Amino acid sequence: MSIICISRHAVIASAASATLSVMPLLAYAEDGYDAPDDWPSPMAEHLQWSAAFDRLEYASPDKGNNALVWDFQAWYGSDVNRLYVKSEGENIQGDGEDAEFESLELLYSRLVADFWEFQAGMGYQGGVFSDDHEERVYGVLGFQGTAPYRIETDAALQFNEGGIVTASIELEHDVRLTQRWYLQPRSEIVVAANESEALGIGRGVNSLRIGLRARYEITRRFAPYVGMYWERQYGATADMQRVEDEEVENTGVVVGVKLMF
C-alpha cells in the first residue's frame, strides 16, 4: 500500500510524474491504461448460471396411464456464450418401465441477436437408468429466444442416424392475469423431412400438442399450476402409432410446479 501513498508535495508538484516515480513495474494493462499487473480489473465479468423446471407435472390423460413429466433447462456462462443442458421426459406410471429422456441435450449457445440465441450440440433419447427404452443419439441445431409479442420460442432441428431430420418448435406465452396469476398457452409441433419406421417418424407433421396452464407464483422460484392439454399424431406417424395400438389423439389434465433454482 505504501507505494501509492504519496505526499502532498508530490501531488502538488505533479500528480503524473509522482505517480510514475513511485509506482514501479508499470504495465500497459489489457484495458489500455497504466496499471500495475497485480491490480484487479475494476469491473470483472462474472459467469452466471440458471436452472429451472419450466414444467414438473403429473399428467393424467383421458386414455392411457398417468405420467410424471418434466421439462428442465439449465445454463452456465457469460452474456454471450453459454452452455445449456435441456431435458424433457416422462415416467409413465405403472408400465413397469424406467423413466425416459425424450431428450437430454447438451448445447453450446451463443447470443446472436438481442432476443435470440443460436444453439448447437448433441442430444440423447432413451432410458434414464436402464435400457427399457430405445436409445438414439442425434445432433441439434436451433434457435431459442423471445419472438415479438413475447412468445418464448425454442425451434430446433434434430439430425438422426440415417439422415432422418426432424424439426420441433415449442411456443409459450404468459398472459398476466394479476401480478401472481398467469395463464400460459403453449404449443409444440414436430415435423419430419423424411420417414423412419424404426424411430416412429413419418414424413410431414408428426404431432401437435397444445396446452393451457394456470399458474400461481407464490414466489418467482416456486409456482404451482394446473392445466390441460390436447395432443394428436398425424399422417404416417399416426399410422405407426395405430399399428402399435397406441392412441393418436388424447387429452389430459396436469398438476405441476414451475421451479427456479
Partner 1 sequence: MKGTTSTFSTSRRQLLKTSSALGLGAMALGMTPAWASPLGRAAAASRTVESGPEIALAIRREDRLVAGQRTRPITINGSSPGPMVRLKEGQEAVIRVTNLMDEPTSIHWHGIILPPEMDGVPGISFAGIAPGDTFTYRFPVTQSGTYWYHSHSGLQEQEGHAGPLIIDAATPDAFQYDREHVLLLTDWTFEDPKNVFRNLKTMEGYYNFQERTVADFFADVRRNGLQDTVEARSMWAEMRMSSRDISDVTGSTYTYLLNGNAPDENWTGLFRRGETVRLRVINGSAMSYFDLRIPGLKMTVVAADGQPVQPVPVDEFRIGVAEAYDVLVTPEDDKAYTIFAEAMDRSGYARATLAPRMGMQANIPARRDIADRGMEAMGAHGGMNHSKMAGMDSSKMAGMDHSKMAGMDHSKMAGMDHSRMAGMDHSKMAGIQGEALAAGMLAAGAVQPGARYDQAGIGLDQQQRRVLVYQDLKALAPWPDQRPPQREMELHLTGNMERYMWSFDGKKFSEVNGPIHFNKDERLRLILINDTMMEHPIHLHGMWMELENGHGEMIPRKHTLNVKPGERVSALITADAEGSWAFHCHLLYHMDAGMFRVVKVS
Q: Of 26, 36, 193, 251, which lies in the binding site for partner 1, with binding defined by CB under 8 A? A: 36
Grid coordinates representing 197 are 419406421
Grid coordinates representing 150 are 413475447
Rounded to whole angstroms, the Cα distance separating 57 from 66 reads 11
**What residues numbered 43-82 form the site for partner 1, per CB under 8 A?**
43-46, 48-50, 79
Return the bridge partners of 257, or none: 56, 224
| Contact flag: residue 32 with partner 1 (CB under 8 A) | yes
**What residues numbered 180-219 form the site for partner 1, per CB under 8 A?**
none
**Which is it for strands 204-216 and 165-172: parallel, antiparallel or unpaired?**
unpaired
| Contact flag: residue 9 with partner 1 (CB under 8 A) | no
Rounded to whole angstroms, the Cα distance separating 154 from 13 reads 63
User: In 3D, which of 148, 217, 230, 220 has the Cα closest to residue 183?
Assistant: 217
Q: Least CB distance from residue 32 to partner 1, whole Å?
A: 3
The span of 134-142, 164-172, 174-182, 193-201 binding partner 1 (CB under 8 A) equals 174-182
Dihedral angle sign, alpha carbons of residues 140, 142, 145, 147: negative
Q: Of 111, 141, 155, 165, which lies in the binding site for partner 1, with binding defined by CB under 8 A? A: 111
Q: Least CB distance from residue 211 to partner 1, whole Å?
A: 19
Closer by beta carbon to partner 1, 175 or else 255: 175
- The footprint of partner 1 on this chain (CB under 8 A) covers a number of residues equal to 46
| Contact flag: residue 222 with partner 1 (CB under 8 A) | no
Q: Of 24, 149, 162, 245, which lies in the binding site for partner 1, with binding defined by CB under 8 A? A: 149
| Contact flag: residue 110 with partner 1 (CB under 8 A) | no
Indicate the Cα dihedral angle 76, 79, 82, 84, nearest 10°. 60
| Contact flag: residue 179 with partner 1 (CB under 8 A) | yes
In three state form, how does the secondary structure of 47-64 look?
CEEEEEEEEEEEEEECCC
| Contact flag: residue 148 with partner 1 (CB under 8 A) | yes
Residues with Cβ within 8 Å of 119's Cβ and at least 6 positions away in sequence, in order, are 84, 107, 108, 109, 110, 140, 141, 142, 143, 144, 156
| Contact flag: residue 178 with partner 1 (CB under 8 A) | yes
Rounded to whole angstroms, the Cα distance separating 109 from 261 reads 20
The span of 5-13, 58-66, 203-211, 246-254 binding partner 1 (CB under 8 A) equals 5-13
Q: Of 25, 38, 129, 131, which lies in the binding site for partner 1, with binding defined by CB under 8 A? A: 38
Contacts with partner 1, residue ranges (CB under 8 A): 1, 4-8, 11-12, 15-16, 19, 30-36, 38-46, 48-50, 79, 111, 114-115, 146-150, 175-179, 220, 260
